[in-house]
Structure 1
């Protein structure tokens, strides 16, 4: 899991992103397309067209980091809006990275017996 600092916000870049983009191109998209500062310490999450690949851009104060995750099965749950960014919590980011629907997580395992 990415160590999300307490004051950092997590932003989902809604819509589809060209996954061939690297750090510089994604930072320019954040700056020009969304009007935000990519060096402010927030995390920006991007998803590709197929929905099985995520990229997360984060500047931790020392440098820019680019994280990528590809699901072997299934797709990442994504907002229905097609442009802009929305904010989610660090806990919702954890669900998203696990392939769980972060909007309404469902726990599937409940113990029946104590011993």
Structure 2
């Protein structure tokens, strides 16, 4: 495993020097596995949240299913843009999140 990791560092980052110490840990089942229908469950949750707790905003790893770090950054940006857009319309209060705001963050099914 260490050889593979060092090869990847060399190939992807161009690092030629050998490190003084190498410690590799393989995490089995580290990426959560979601059941079939998870996306629909999240859509239903969002609809109920907008109806009952419209002020509550949700963001974070795995909320919309297994994604990479870059997707989570995009999601956080979409959320903050959405809040800012709604705040600009009513500076004295942030209007509630709409289905359009949530669907933009859900991405393609």
Same fold (TM over 0.5): no
Which entry has the higher C-alpha Rg, 1 or 2? Answer: 2
Q: Report the TM-score when normalising by structure 2.
A: 0.27
Q: Report the TM-score when normalising by structure 1.
A: 0.26
Q: In proportion to residue count, which structure has more helix?
A: 2
Q: In proportion to residue count, which structure has more strand?
A: 1
Q: Which has the higher contact order (CA 8 A, sep 6+)?
A: 1
